[in-house]
């Protein structure tokens, strides 16, 4: 949980630290931070992922509110010809500790 950190500082750290980590561990996926919404107690950043085949966007949200549990593992619906799989969604605490 973020107590005294400014959301601007958190965004700056994410923009500096996350792209090289993802690129190194993924074998070449590049991250680009797009729009971001900053508030005293909330941060939402849109991130564009560019890989060897395709591009996607996702949002990273950071809040000062207490979150229950360390991660959530929802099942993704089968919408294509892919087999069943699940997604691991981690809190920012877990990401920053790694």
- Expressed as residue numbers, the domain containing 54 is 7-97
| pLDDT(84) > 70 | no
Structural domain count, the chain: 1
Residue 81: band (very low, low, confident or very high) from pLDDT cuts 50, 70, 90:
low
Q: Is 20 among the domain residues?
A: yes
Residue 14: band (very low, low, confident or very high) from pLDDT cuts 50, 70, 90:
confident
pTM for the predicted model, two decimal places? 0.56
Q: Is 1 among the domain residues?
A: no
Give the start-end residues of each E strand in the chain.
30-39, 42-50, 55-63, 71-72, 89-90
Q: Is 83 among the domain residues?
A: yes
Q: Could you tell me the two tokens for 82?
A: 């892919």
Q: Is 66 among the domain residues?
A: yes
Q: Is 24 among the domain residues?
A: yes
């Amino acid at each position: 949980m973020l107590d005294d950190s400014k959301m601007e500082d958190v965004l700056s750290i994410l923009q500096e630290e996350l792209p090289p980590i993802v690129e190194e561990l993924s074998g070449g996926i590049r991250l680009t931070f797009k729009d971001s919404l900053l508030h005293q107690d909330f941060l939402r950043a849109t991130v564009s992922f560019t890989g060897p085949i395709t591009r996607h966007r996702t949002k990273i949200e950071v809040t000062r509110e207490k979150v229950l549990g360390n991660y959530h593992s929802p099942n993704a619906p089968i919408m294509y010809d892919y087999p069943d799989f699940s997604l691991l969604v981690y809190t920012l605490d877990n990401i920053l500790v790694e």
